[in-house]
Structure 1
Amino acid sequence: MLIRETPVFIDGPAGQLEALYLDVADPRGIVLLCHPNPVQGGTMTNKVVSMLQRTARDAGYITLRFNYRGVGQSAGSHDMGSGEVDDAQAAATWLREKHPELPLTLMGFSFGGFVAASLGGRLEAQGVTLKHLFMVAPAVMRLGGTDGLPQAGALSVIQPETDEVIDPQIVYAWSDALARPHELLKVAECGHFFHGKLTDLKDLVLPRLSN
């Protein structure tokens, strides 16, 4: 049976947010996915985000991906910072209100890695503990140090070794300086958009979701 996502609109701080929601039977948790830089064409249907969504689905998770303000049919205009985190928080609130009993996992790719990490820190400050945070080729240079990161829950950082958008050395140095427990997973011979390496990404994420 083919399971399809349902288009939904969520009330966001700058107007409605376009989103795709997938419910599954007997879910093990909920996953919110944050997409790449909208100025560079990033949307919720980005192929890396799509692979992450399918991987979460296959692991038995309810998923929600959404377009930031000014992307697709989402209202507003780009903020390129706290506004996108505000949008993610609205999406997380919508998802958690539908499934308050389920643990929350966040996933973010590129700019979305910054958004997911920042959101995780915000939610933790509000008493919400994440199950897992996945940062894929993350724009760590946008993070204000490591103070805003969530301190509880698992953290997996997945970095392509030949990333042409995010300098891998910046991510490695950030990881080295990070005091909280985490894992850094390097993907050999892989560029930023995981061309030809999407199955490698799935192979890294799927067992970590299945724990």
Structure 2
Amino acid sequence: MKRYKLRIDGPSGKIETVINDPGPERIGIALIAHPHPLHGGTLDNKVVQTVADTLLSLGYVAVRPNFRGVGMSDGDYDHGEGEVEDMLAAYAFVQPRYPDLPLLLAGFSFGAHVQNQIGHKLNAQQVVLIGPAVNMFEFGDVAPNATIIHGGKDELVPLEVVQTWSEAQGVKLVVLEGADHFFHRKLSQLKQTLVELCQC
């Protein structure tokens, strides 16, 4: 198992990226997107870290870029458009180094908004939208092969809003009872849910 911290080339400069590689038994690439850059979202967010650690333990190469303007990434916040470009650039860097591995997309909150767009651009085996902020951003149609994980007591993105969107889209919704938006004291449940989703 190896950990790399890199600054890779992106459309608005360098993109700070952490890559955790499980080694020869790797089963896929997991590209993980963090919450809103203007509200403290980084690749070290505890939900993002939990997702990365869980997928790494399952054999995925876990790739966590910092969006433009965050940490050591160049550029400025771009309302989701440039952030999509950043994630695509990160994948373009990683994919040739791990050819023929299936792709899993995972995003939390604003990151789910970004990944939902990328799911329409890349052929992902799975798209996991965690706490998708559907009341704050225009999600449009859900990406193929998507599953939503949402807290039953999300105070920022009410469950009812997500239920309405998921039902209209015909997409699977997994509700973590008692969980708020940031999954305080519910990260173990989030981890178990991810394991079950990825081992189906």
Shorter-chain TM band: over 0.9
Residue 164 of structure 1 pairs with residue 155 of structure 2 = yes
Runs ≥4 residues deviating over 3 A: none
Equivalent residues, number = 198
Q: Deviation of residue 144 (structure 1)?
A: 4.4
**Ranges in structure 2 where 5+ consecutive residues have no aligned partner:** none
Deviation per CA, 1:55-94: give whole Å up to 9, x if none: 0011111110010000000000111221111111111111
Q: Which residue of 1 aligns with 2:195?
A: 206
**In structure 2, C-alpha distance between the alignment counterparts of 1:188 and 1:78, rounded to whole Å:** 33
Q: Which shifted more, 22-31 or 36-45?
A: 22-31
RMSD: 1.3
Residue 84 of structure 1 pairs with residue 83 of structure 2 = yes
Q: Deviation of residue 34 (structure 1)?
A: 0.1
**In structure 2, C-alpha distance between the alignment counterparts of 1:34 and 1:144, rounded to whole Å:** 15
Q: Percent identity?
A: 36
Equivalent of residue 138 in structure 2, options 136, 143, 162 = 143
Q: Which residue of 2 aligns with 1:23?
A: 21
Q: Which residue of 2 aligns with 1:117?
A: 116
Q: Which residue of 2 aligns with 1:6?
A: 4
Q: Which residue of 1 aligns with 2:51?
A: 52
**Ranges in structure 1 where 5+ consecutive residues have no aligned partner:** 124-128
Structure 1-normalised TM-score? 0.90
Q: Which residue of 2 aligns with 1:106?
A: 105
Deviation per CA, 1:132-190: give whole Å up to 9, x if none: 000000122423421xx433xx32100101111212211111001104xx310001111
Q: Secondary structure at the match of 2:52?
A: helix
* Alpha carbons 2:116, 2:139 under 8 Å: kept: no
